Structure formats: structure tokens, C-alpha cells
Amino acid sequence: MRIRGAGEIARSAVEALLITAENSKASNTKEFVEEIEETARTMMRTRPTAVSLPNGIRYVIHRVREGNLTGQTLEALKETSAKACHEFIENSKTAIERIGEIGARRILDGDTLMTHCDSSAALKVIETAWKKGKKLKVYVTETRPRFQGRITADRLGQLGIPVIMIIDSAVRHFMNQVDRVIVGADAVSANGAVVNKIGTSLMALAAREARTHFLVAAESYKFSPETMFGELVKIEERNASEIISPSDVKYPSITVANPSFDVTPPEYVDLIITEKGIIPPQAAILLLQESLGVITPEELEEFQTYELHEEESV
């Protein structure tokens, strides 16, 4: 948890590939590819829900394998690897800026917003709208149990944006005062369902009941290609000690569940803001087909390292 946020997680994983490439002791291309792929497998095991991570890994590995198949020398293959890593990291940062510009157009002067957790994309939309001179007020949930919402409140406060911090369970109480909800995403499936920090789906449900617009800001590399072929997005279960100290659980019949993410159905999402433009959730499959058409089901299967369980996935 020292590295938080799906975008930062992806960039850090790709940076690990870059470090591997730059420090490789391989004596031939076969050994180099094996080194890179071993790092890739290690990174893939770290955060099962953050789809941005495997997508970033695939971006680099696809180019490494392509270079190897075309007969690149060892030094050329190292350069190909480093270039792909730098490209992904730079593109991911540019995507955030673009999402901010596009999303800010959907924010009106005088809007009251609500957000959840700590999303760079959602924050960039709010920040950009504010810097364009739009007067805003933002409700920010604490986002238990790790309190990432406090980070969001601090960042907005540094900009001078009026912030009202609330506990997660107060979302419905304040929803009628909100014009727009904007959140990030850790993954978007092919049917437009959004996987995000636990509590997001309840916020979306409250927004729908109150007829408040529910917007999701997500880079295109957070869209899950596996879901095009029937795979599921695994929901990460974190340690129960984040919620309660083990010493406070006094009876063996008590267990603690701590899912880190939940799933918001596409019918609860009004629009998804990406760096490629704004789409309805039903168009997620089209974006995936456009962006990831070069990836085959066989390549996806090779990188699938998790056993997925229907009862905890989408």
C-alpha cells in the first residue's frame, strides 16, 4: 500500500520492467526475454484487481516479443524494452491531463460534486474545472478502512477548493445536495461495469435513486481485455486487521470480510470519461476492440496468473 492508485501502480510495475532491462546481465536475447518475463510474472501477482497493471505489462512484453521474433540483437532488444516502458509511463501521464480537459467540460460553474477514494483521474477533472474558473464545492468520503479520501481532501484543499469531508455511510444523506458524482476506476469490464474502491457501488446506487449524474474517469488502459473473452475481474480481499485488531475479535465464530473493491453495474453509470473521449458504459467493448485489437486470446491466457472465482468477481 505504499504505492496507491491504479495508474501509479501500473507505472511502477512498468518501471520495474525498465529497471530489469537497464540492469540485465543476460548474455543473449533468450536470457533477456526470460528475465523480463520473470519480472512481469512477479508484478502480475501483486495487485489482482488493478487491471492497469497487467495492461501496462502487456504493452511492454508485446513489443519485447515482437522485437525478439524479428531478430533484434540483444542491445536492440534492450533499447526496445526501455523505449516501450518510457512510452507507457509517458502516455499514462498524458492520459490523465487529457481526461482532466475533457471531463472539466462536464462540470458546470456552481456545481456541488462528490467523490470517493483517491483517484488521480477524478481529481484532475475537478482540478481542471476549478482552474478554468468554475466555482465548486466537493463532498469527499473518508473511504474506510484505509482513509484514502483524506488524501483527496488534502489535495483539493491545497487548491483552495471548498471540501466537506464525510464518513462513507453519510453518502445518501448528502446526495440530494450533489449535482454530479465523479469517481475513478481500477478496472472497467467489456460490458461497462466499473470496479473501484469498496463503497463506490453504494454511492452509485444512491446517486441513481437521487437522479444525480454519476461519472467515472478512467484511462483506456484500465479497461480489461480479459472480459472480452469471458474472464472475470478478481476482487482483492485484504487483511482483516485493516478493519479491526485481531485482539478485538473475541469469539472464534466471528470472521471479518475486507474486500478492497466492489462492482458498479453499467446501468448505474451515466458516462465514462477517457483520454479518447466520453463514452456511455455500453461502449466499453468498442473501446477495447479499438485499443487492444492486436492482443490475442492466447496472449491474454498466457499472462492469466490468477484463479478467478465467480462469487467474488464480475
| Cα–Cα distance measured from residue 128 to residue 22, given in angstroms and rounded to the nearest whole number | 36
Whether 85 is catalytic is: no
Q: Is the peptide bond before 48 cis (omega within 30 degrees of 0)?
A: no
Which member of 117, 118, 262, 270 is catalytic? 117
Would you put residue 73 in left (φ > 0), alpha (ψ -120 to 50) or beta?
beta
Does residue 154 carry a catalytic annotation?
Answer: no
121 Cβ contact partners less than 8 Å away, ≥ 6 residues apart: 7, 96, 99, 100, 103, 184, 185, 217, 218, 219, 273
How far is the C-alpha of 61 from the C-alpha of 67, rounded, in Å? 10
Q: List the catalytic residue out of 118, 186, 262, 270.
A: 186
Cβ atoms 217, 99 nearer than 8 A: yes
- Neighbouring CB atoms inside 10 A of 68's CB total 18
Catalytic residues: 117, 186
